[in-house]
Amino acid sequence: MARNMHPEETERRILDSARRLFAEKGYEKTSIQDILNDLNLSKGGLYHHFKSKEAILDQLNDDEWAVASHLLDELIGRKDMNALEKLRTLLVSAVDAPDHLDLVRSQLELLKDPAFFTANMRFWSTKLPEYFLSIIEMGVQDGSIPTTYPKEAAQLLALLGNYWLMPCFYPADRDELEHRIRCLTTMLNAIGVPAFDEALISQAVKGLTALMPEEVAKSV
Amino acid sequence: MARNMHPEETERRILDSARRLFAEKGYEKTSIQDILNDLNLSKGGLYHHFKSKEAILDQLNDDEWAVASHLLDELIGRKDMNALEKLRTLLVSAVDAPDHLDLVRSQLELLKDPAFFTANMRFWSTKLPEYFLSIIEMGVQDGSIPTTYPKEAAQLLALLGNYWLMPCFYPADRDELEHRIRCLTTMLNAIGVPAFDEALISQAVKGLTALMPEEVAKSV
């Protein structure tokens, strides 16, 4: 009974458990029953909060996006960094955050589903570029990102970072991934967006290697 | 009766009619009945050759790919061009061939369908890069494409050329398209793949403008 008096806490426990189980077993192989067993919760107790497993995943992704948006808002207001440093901080948050990487990894199988894949591609081509664009435009203003292609750079960071760099879509071993990231670095430098320095390249290689399908990662 | 004695000719007539009607009305809005009316053909006569409208589209796309593969084979054997000129010839064939552009335009609506979109993205990430890679590797050999990123360049030409440059996925007016193509040109030059010269840039702008959703193209 006590639990029902704190519905937000129950919701938080369901999300935490789902996040952990999705990361361990993958989204597809995790059942609602697994989450119920993990929490010692009744079916009704869960369905009161989420009408399906998909709704739980949507909430986890929405929460992630809320964190990313909050980080962006916070960065935009900071006076101690130029825009290029802010852009790098955003990119580091994408490749060096264990929780974020776990959530992405748990959805790798799901990305083979056409409807889910198409929805992701749409997000990466519409909403995500706007997220990068606000910082890049600040960089044009403060001179730290001297590009005449702010919109294009924002679109390419979102598309190439989430699709082309991903070993699940474009298979690669660790060295091939590093080569690919250096290719992107050279291209972005050429259009005046020096987002990737050696530190970020290392972090990106490490983060993306963690997103390899297991059989490949093991052989590396 | 005479018609049935030439099944290949009937098939050719069906494909020609479908190609023209798809281009005029779009794939979605063209019915099997439209094709039958156009050819004065019976339903049985058509279903003998194609079991569905989708099968006709698949055949048109397969035929296109056969033409492209043939062009590649032919180009590879030519002694009067270096590999860079061969690559440009391939790219011109994609942006300056009325039949090809008509076929692409007829499928713009269909590309919103998740299954069709996902199948196309898979083709662009797997088979199409191999098509470009054979020529780029020749260019590394003959010195006309001095890149250390042949595989990456092949993947990016296929992905960015078919997805990022397409105004149906990334809306743009004519000037924005030209700016985007110049951005791609700068990036490819930076990795040693000077595929786009001024002539190709103009042809690409013209070809891709023809693939704009109608309401935008009219206002240009």
Q: How far apart are CA B192 and CA B189, in angstroms?
A: 5
- pLDDT grade for A220, boundaries at 50, 70 and 90: very low
- Rounded to whole angstroms, how far apart are CA atoms B68 and B64? 6
- What whole-number distance in Å separates Cα of residue A118 and Cα of residue A120? 5
pLDDT given at position B218: 52
> How buried is residue A121: exposed, middle or buried, by Cβ count under 10 Å (0-12/13-18/19+)?
buried
d(CA A35, CA A41): 8
Q: Is the pLDDT of residue B63 over 80?
A: yes
Q: A121 contacts in B (CB within 8 Å)?
A: 117, 121
Question: What whole-number distance in Å separates Cα of residue B144 and Cα of residue B84?
Answer: 6
- Separation in Å, CA A209 to CA A50, A96, A174, B48: 33, 11, 6, 51
Q: Is the Cβ–Cβ distance between A114 and B114 less than 8 Å?
A: yes
Neighbouring residues of B16: CB distance < 8 A, sequence distance ≥ 6:
none
Closest by CA position to B193, among listed B123, B134, B120, B139: B139
B108 to chain A nearest CA, in Å?
Answer: 15
Q: Is the pLDDT reported for residue A215 higher than 70? A: no
Predicted complex ipTM: 0.86
Q: Which residue has the higher pLDDT, A19 or B141?
A: B141
Residue A218, pLDDT score: 52
- The closest alpha carbon to B94, from B133, B74, B67, belongs to B67
pLDDT, residue A147, reads 98
Best residue of B133, B183, B186 to probe chain A, by most A CBs closer than 10 Å: B183
pLDDT for the residue numbered B5: 62
Query: What's the whole-number average pLDDT of chain A?
Result: 91
- Mean pLDDT within A135-153: 98
Q: What's chain A's length in residues?
A: 220
Q: What is the pLDDT of residue B7?
A: 77
C-alpha–C-alpha distance, residues B60 and B34, integer Å = 17
| pLDDT in the model for residue B187 | 98
φ, ψ for residue A123, nearest 5 deg:
-60, -45
Q: What is the pLDDT of residue A143?
A: 98
User: How far is the C-alpha of A64 from the C-alpha of B22, rounded, in Å?
Assistant: 42
- In this prediction, residue A174 has a pLDDT band, given cuts at 50, 70 and 90, of very high
Cα distance between residue A68 and residue A58, in whole Å: 15
The CA-CA-CA angle for residues A153, A156, A161, to 5°, reads 125
Instruction: Tell me the percentage of chain A whose pLDDT exceeds 90.
Output: 67
CA-closest candidate to residue A159, choices A130, A188, A133, A121: A121
Q: B44-62 pLDDT, tens per residue?
A: 999 999 999 999 998 998 8
Q: Does A96 touch chain B (CB under 8 A)?
A: no
Structural domains of chain B sorted by starting position, each given as residue range(s) with its CATH number in brackets: 82-219 (1.10.357)
Q: Which residues of chain B are within 8 Å of residue A187 when distances are taken between CB atoms?
A: 187-188, 190-191
**A interface test, pick of B187, B191, B193 with most A CB neighbours within 10 Å:** B187
Structure tokens at A200: 């970020």
**CB proximity list for B154: less than 8 A, separation 6 or greater:** B129, B130, B131, B132, B133, B136
Across the A/B interface, how many CB contacts are shorter than 8 Å?
59
Interfacial A residues in 131-160 facing B (CB < 8 Å): 149, 151-153, 155-156, 159
Helix (H, G, I), strand (E, B) or coil at A54: helix
Structure tokens at A2: 């006590």
Which ranges of chain B does DSSP label H, i.e. alpha helix?
A: 7-25, 32-39, 43-47, 53-77, 83-95, 98-106, 114-125, 127-142, 150-159, 174-190, 198-209, 214-219
Distance CA B135, CA B141 (A): 10
A99 membership: H or E segment, kind and range = helix A98-106
Partner B contacted by A185 (CB < 8 A): no
pLDDT reading at B194 higher than 90: yes
Give the lowest-confidence range in A141-155, A174-188, B38-52. Answer: B38-52
Tokens of A115: 């409807």
Give the model's pLDDT for residue B190: 98
Interior CA angle at A173 toward B164 and A183, to 5°? 45
Chain A residue nearest residue B122, CA to CA:
A169
Q: Which two tokens stand for residue B76?
A: 């590879």
| 3-state class (DSSP) for residue A12 | helix
Give the separation between CA A3 and CA A12, rounded to whole angstroms.
12
Scan for tokens 């530190």, then name that residue.
A199
pLDDT in tens, A54-105: 999 989 988 888 988 899 999 999 999 999 999 999 999 989 888 888 888 8
- C-alpha span between B109 and B213 (Å, rounded): 9
Segment A139-146 shows an average pLDDT of: 98
Q: Is the pLDDT of residue B220 over 60?
A: no
